[in-house]
Amino acid sequence: MSDGLDQLLIATVLGLLPSAPPITVCPDGFVPNGTLRPYVLVYSSVGRPPDVPSNAADGLSRTLTARFIAHCAGETAASARAVAAYVHTFWLDVRPVVAGLTCGLIRQESYQDPVRDESTGTLVMDSICTYTLTATT
């Protein structure tokens, strides 16, 4: 049974991205039909890594590592970079406040230059940025 901290952590970090025109935030890896570019599509996950110093001596996992993969989509390379900058503004080096957790700073793990995606028949330029966050209970 989940303690709910995983979902609370994800919801808190996603909530840092205001979904305001002209950029739409699409959480949970789903872009609704009719969504116009530019948008950011976010995939998120939380793991509990073993053998980290912040885990307890009693063997219980006290550390959560959250990963957020942001697909920053636009009609041009410049607009995809602008969406990536938007995400960067609201996430990088931010320390979220989550009840029941002590959070570190959100860090950027990787960045991919915009690439062409024409798999749907329409050109989308997509820059993929990955962010991580470590928190302890």
pTM of the model: 0.89
Give the CATH number for residue 130. 3.30.2000.30
| Range 76-95 average pLDDT | 97
**Per-residue pLDDT at 15:** 95
User: How many domains would you assign to the chain?
Assistant: 1
Domain extent, residue 78, equals: 5-136
Q: Could you read off the pLDDT of 23-60 as tens digits, one per residue?
A: 999 998 899 988 899 999 999 999 987 666 655 666 67
- At 130, the amino acid letter reads T
Mean pLDDT of the chain: 90
Q: What DSSP state is assigned to residue 39?
A: E
**Per-residue pLDDT at 51:** 65
With cut-offs at 50, 70 and 90, classify the pLDDT of residue 1: very low
Asked whether 38 and 74 are in contact (CB, 8 A), the reply is: yes
Q: Tell me how far CA of residue 84 lies from CA of 14, 23, 63, 98, 105, in angstroms.
A: 14, 11, 28, 24, 18
